């Protein structure tokens, strides 16, 4: 009886397994590339989730039904799956903060601890509404900042393109005409022609520098040295430094108000707020404040007074809140006050930036025009 050659069967099987493995790896790669561009569950999504969940719970809706109602209005499948996982974990016996804490890459410790405090004190609906308000204020501030910065960015970009076009195309045409005349050009025109001859090098260097700065920001924005450097740099810019400081003071007061109203211990409060602020100078200050309050027994206002980032008025009001034992009221008033000041300063800054950049753009273009037409005026008078 002839034997059966199994080698070709094993080869075919191995080959098919190899093909399946390759197809699987390609599929995983494609999925990874696709998910890379998916929208994150960011501040906007959190604001809607916390606000709606807090509202539904405050009306007496049970937690399961509340999640189901919220899930119906979410178009993003990934976000819907996330909320479904949290809902299922709660139904299986976990507390709300435990179910949220399982997703530490999406929800911060501050959020999980705030929800735990809400559950322990029976104020979960109120805490969720406060978290929604926290992210709403952050989104509002971010939009205001983007609104203020959009105009100068557009004007600067247009100015760079206009100057590049004139130096690369317009100036060389005039330069050829002036060369044919054989006369001596004014100093300002000679300088502009020299700049025009090196315009490609100048602008390529500028674009390379901008690309390097963007890449550095993307890769180093979470590093301590970069955060320290950029924060110190912005604090040296007039007007802008005060605005940035007030933005983070408003966030500090809002966070402190939420935790103070929930009667959280001061050491835990300072830890949570420090992790949530994400502003290097304030983080380092709060780290030292915690040590002084916990280890040395100092009052909060005494320790805050040692750091210049906290204004004297804020320290004085915090001292008053400690004396009357009403920190949540004072922090809420401070937050409202800083929010109003931020809106006013951003409005003023926006109105000042527009004419300043128009003048700067006019000076750039005017300098080029004067340098080009000055030799023509001299030719018309016979002095060229």
264: which 2 tokens? 């959280």
Q: Which residues contact 145 (CB under 8 A, 6 or more apart)?
A: 247, 346
- Choice between 151 and 5, residue whose per-residue pLDDT is larger: 151
pLDDT digit string, tens, across residues 337-364: 998 888 888 778 777 877 887 888 788 8
Lowest-pLDDT choice from 10-19, 133-142, 366-375: 10-19
pLDDT digit string, tens, across residues 94-122: 999 999 999 988 998 878 888 888 888 88
The verdict on pTM exceeding 0.85 is: no
pLDDT digit string, tens, across residues 183-221: 677 888 888 888 888 888 888 898 899 899 999 988 988
Q: What is the pLDDT of residue 105?
A: 87
Per-residue pLDDT band for 163 (boundaries 50, 70, 90) equals confident
Tokens 């995983």 sit on residue = 28
- Choice between 25 and 314, residue whose per-residue pLDDT is larger: 314
- Given a contact cutoff of 8 angstroms between Cβ atoms, the answer to whether 138 and 251 are in contact is yes
pLDDT at 180 over 80: no
Q: Which of 250, 219, 216 is nearest to 233 (CA)?
A: 216
pLDDT at 58 over 70: yes
pLDDT at 173 over 90: no
46: which 2 tokens? 């959190």
């Amino acid at each position: 009886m002839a034997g059966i050659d199994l080698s070709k069967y094993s080869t075919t099987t191995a080959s098919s397994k190899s093909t399946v493995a390759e197809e699987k790896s390609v599929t995983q790669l494609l999925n990874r590339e696709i998910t890379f561009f998916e929208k994150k569950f960011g501040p906007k999504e959190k604001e809607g989730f916390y606000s709606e969940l807090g509202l539904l719970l405050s009306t007496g809706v049970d937690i399961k039904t509340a999640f189901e109602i919220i899930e119906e209005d979410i178009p993003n499948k990934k976000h819907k799956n996330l909320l479904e996982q949290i809902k299922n974990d709660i139904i299986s016996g976990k507390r709300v903060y435990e179910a949220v804490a399982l997703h530490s890459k999406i929800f911060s410790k501050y959020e999980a601890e705030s929800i735990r405090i809400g559950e322990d004190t029976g104020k979960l609906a109120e805490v969720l509404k406060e978290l929604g308000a926290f992210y709403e204020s952050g989104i509002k501030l971010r939009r205001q900042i983007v609104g203020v910065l959009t105009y100068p960015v557009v004007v600067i970009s247009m100015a760079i393109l206009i100057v590049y076009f004139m130096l690369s195309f317009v100036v060389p045409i005039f330069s050829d005409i002036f060369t044919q005349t054989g006369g001596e050009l004014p100093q300002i025109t000679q300088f502009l022609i020299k700049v025009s001859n090196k315009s490609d090098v100048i602008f390529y260097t500028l674009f390379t520098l901008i690309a390097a700065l963007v890449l550095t920001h993307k890769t180093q924005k979470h590093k301590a040295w970069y955060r320290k450097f950029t924060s110190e740099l912005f604090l040296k810019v007039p007007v802008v430094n005060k605005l940035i400081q007030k933005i983070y003071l408003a966030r500090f007061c809002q966070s402190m108000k939420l935790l103070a109203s929930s009667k959280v211990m001061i050491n835990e409060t300072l830890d949570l707020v420090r992790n949530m602020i994400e502003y290097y100078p304030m983080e380092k200050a709060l780290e030292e404040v915690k040590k002084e309050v916990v280890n040395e027994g100092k009052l909060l206002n005494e320790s805050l007074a040692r750091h210049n980032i906290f204004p004297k008025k804020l320290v004085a009001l915090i001292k008053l809140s400690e004396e009357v034992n009403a920190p949540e009221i004072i922090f809420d008033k401070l937050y409202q006050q800083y929010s109003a000041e931020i809106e006013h300063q951003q409005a003023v800054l926006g109105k000042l930036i527009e004419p300043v950049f128009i003048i700067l753009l006019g000076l750039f273009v005017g300098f080029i025009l004067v340098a080009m037409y000055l030799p023509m005026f001299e030719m018309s008078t016979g002095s060229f």
